Structure 1
Amino acid sequence: MVMPKRYAVAFLKRSRRILREFVPERLHVTSLPHRLHLRREGATEGLVDISVNLPACWASATDDEKALLRRYLPVKRPAASPEDCAIAKVSASVQWRMPNKRGDAMIRAYRARSIAQGRSQADTDLRIERIIDYADAVQAGACFPPIILYVDGRHLIMLDGARRALAHLLADCSNIDAIVAMPTMCLGETPHRLARPT
């Protein structure tokens, strides 16, 4: 018995979607879009969109960067190995996902999303105070450590720096320093060069 064409097409589309979800590390960097956006996963990611342009040069992770990845990567992507990541330092673009871009609306939405995800009221209030303090520091010209992003398939995952990203938006600053980590198997034999740290 032969499968009708419409069922075969639906089966192929479903198979591709499953492969994209469960085998993201097999993607080659040349098949990735030029600009990657943040995947919506946590309280912050639903409010903020962070996008980066993929750079031409990637470097092997230094010991300090590997230590950062060992600290944050197992929480969000346990299967990923910090030892097999290439690193790039970029300037990321930060934008609101919300239609209402006022600071007080963001704080209300962040509080509601945090509590809905199981964070306590006291912890949420403490985080909001920290975000407001960070925003004041950004407006005063303070430098913060870069946020840490991980290329997971065709999206970015924020490993560290959610409060700093929100603080930059509260301070009307649309650019933030970022460290982007990508599995080295995605680089392959491409023009994206992998340099050794000096």
Structure 2
Amino acid sequence: MNPIYQPTIDRYPTALRVLHWVRAVLVLGLLWAGWYMTGLNDEVPSKYELYYPWHKSFGLLTLLLVLTQIALRWQAASIPQPLATLASYERILSRLTQRLMYGLVLIVPLMGYSMSSTYTMSDGVFFFGVNLPELLPKNDDWFAVFQWLHKVLAYTLLALIVLHVVGALKHRFYDRDPRNDVLRRML
């Protein structure tokens, strides 16, 4: 066996793989919906009757899923470590990107919740028909800050997702060493 290559667990546990792909679909859907709905004219009824309530509900669902995913990672007996066959800068970049994405998938929905809580014209934070308590006082100045953070951090998350996908595809299709295929660990 190659002394540089250290055997790793081949795949993530099933629950983490399922949550990863469900979360990926939800986050991409939320990014698209956020971009689309904010571009709609305010007079379009579906903007506030359909898109905003569903965006809030799925945003909070995504937050709950990532909290579940983090809890499962902490209690997992073992999860795959970065591949030893990757260059050290790739292992560092992979870990950094993963941690930043986890952080942003927590922070972006919290900024959205904070927006809905503080906006004076908001009719609340809905979670699939249940009106959740607004934990922050109404304040349009704070709303503007949370709105800016929500937008900038969502675009930052999108950039990291692109980096994550490009990296996985690079390792799968471009690298000469087939052991670098990190995608197989999530399939």
Question: Which TM-score applies when normalising by structure 2?
Answer: 0.22
Structure with the bigger percentage of strand:
1
In the superposition, the TM-score normalised over structure 1's length comes to 0.21
Q: Which has the higher contact order (CA 8 A, sep 6+)?
A: 1
